[in-house]
């Protein structure tokens, strides 16, 4: 079979065009696997430890910049697939059960991150977070470690947005540390946790009424004296005179 110069040119052009069309796909695929391997070496598994404040929100905030800068070539669905793959087995099972009957593959990237954040979070009220931050102790930490703990606690407690009236309430809580004030402290905590905008004068009025009621219902400590009935002397036997007849 004889090929003309035009046939050869057409065949070469077709081959080049097909190669150019396939090259980006192969590069992206190869690049994708390389990026996954690289990210795996850079980002550790996520383990939920609420007692230490290890939440998904903090984990994701820490490693999201790495995902964006070093995994930017990945499609969003591949990025989310990678994030879910970094859950430890217990966390993965909890997540799968949490979203049932929805399957992981049916979640949008935004929904997946939102569900993970809600599931692996510390459900502590703003009031409790603020009280916890005020009760921080050095406990053998270095000053640098203590600095980090204080910075983190202050951010979580959102102290930057506190009002003067709210600050008075927290000062009140710190003033009720004696054991005899346990009931008053517990009631103040309930009031403040129910409504963080409760005004300080209202809190104090409620506590005064509570303390008065508590005192009114307390058993009387007045000493009771037992009244003994007066002793009665036994009548003496009658010693009558002898009768002379």
pLDDT in tens, 11-44: 545 654 554 455 444 334 444 457 888 899 999 9
How many domains in the chain?
2
- Domain end call among 119, 151, 181: 119
φ, ψ dihedrals at 203, nearest 5°: -60, -45
Task: Find, among 175, 240, 242, the residue nearest to 203 by Cα.
Answer: 175
Residues (pLDDT < 70) of the chain are: 1-33, 195-197, 220-245
Q: Which stretches of 43-75 are DSSP H helices?
A: 56-70
Domain housing 210: 126-216
In a domain, 224, yes or no: no
Question: Token pair for residue 86?
Answer: 């970094």
**Cα 137 to Cα 150: distance, rounded to the nearest angstrom:** 10
In a domain, 229, yes or no: no
**Cα 145 to Cα 140: distance, rounded to the nearest angstrom:** 10
For residue 132, how far is the Cα from the chain centroid?
A: 11
Question: Token pair for residue 143?
Answer: 């000053």
Contact 134, 174 (CB under 8 A): yes
Return the pLDDT at 135. 87
């Amino acid at each position: 079979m004889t090929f003309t110069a035009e046939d050869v040119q057409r065949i070469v052009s077709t081959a080049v065009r097909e190669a150019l069309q396939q090259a980006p796909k192969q590069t992206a695929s190869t690049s994708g696997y390389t990026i996954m391997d690289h990210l795996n070496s850079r980002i550790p598994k996520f383990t939920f430890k609420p007692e230490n404040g290890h939440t998904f929100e903090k984990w994701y905030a820490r490693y999201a910049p790495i995902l964006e800068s070093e995994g930017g070539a990945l499609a969003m669905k591949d990025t989310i697939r990678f994030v879910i793959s970094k859950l430890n087995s217990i966390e993965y099972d909890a997540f799968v059960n949490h979203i049932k009957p929805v399957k992981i593959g049916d979640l949008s990237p935004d929904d997946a991150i939102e569900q993970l954040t809600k599931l692996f979070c510390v459900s502590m009220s703003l009031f409790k977070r603020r009280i916890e931050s005020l009760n921080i102790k050095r406990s053998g930490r270095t000053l640098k470690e203590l600095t980090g703990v204080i910075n983190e606690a202050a951010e979580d407690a959102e102290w930057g947005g506190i009002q003067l009236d709210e600050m008075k309430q927290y000062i009140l809580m710190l003033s009720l540390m004696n054991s005899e004030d346990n009931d008053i402290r517990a009631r103040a905590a309930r009031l403040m946790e129910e409504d963080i905008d409760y005004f300080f004068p209202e809190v104090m009025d409620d506590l005064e009424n509570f303390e008065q009621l508590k005192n009114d219902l307390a058993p009387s400590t007045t000493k009771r004296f037992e009244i003994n009935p007066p002793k009665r002397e036994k009548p003496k036997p009658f010693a009558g005179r002898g009768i002379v007849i």
